[in-house]
Amino acid sequence: MALSIVASPKVSAPPSLTSAEAAGSLGGPVLVSVPVAAPAGAADPTAPHEQLLLTIPDVMAQLQLGRSTVYDLIRTRRLPSVTIGRSRRVPVAAVRTFVAELAEVAA
């Protein structure tokens, strides 16, 4: 399989012409960029990712609780958590469920 590369001579355009106008006036190829909508259901690569797991300091900030209290909730299994290597993480869904249960008991 052979590849062939076609090169057009590089000619500098006068400042009044854009590169596309200069290429078109010289008979060269004109490249046009057209925005294309993303297919339905495709994730936007520039959108921030949803956080799935929280660190203990993140949970402390979200619940406005101290470190010992958060670890007590984990130890008593009122706040589910997972261990990855030596790191402890709390699923975002677990924090939301915990808060919903607190609101339910208070009502």
DSSP states of 21-73 = HHHHHTT---------PPPTTPPPTTSPPPP-EE-HHHHHHHHT--HHHHHHH
Cα(99)–Cα(107) distance, integer angstroms: 12
Q: What is the mean pLDDT of residues 18-37?
A: 61
Quick: pLDDT tens for 73-88: 999 999 999 999 999 9
Closest by alpha carbon to 98, among 57, 85, 87, 72?
72
Q: What is the mean pLDDT of residues 34-58?
A: 78
- pTM as predicted: 0.56
Place of tokens 């706040």: 79
Place of tokens 């607190």: 102
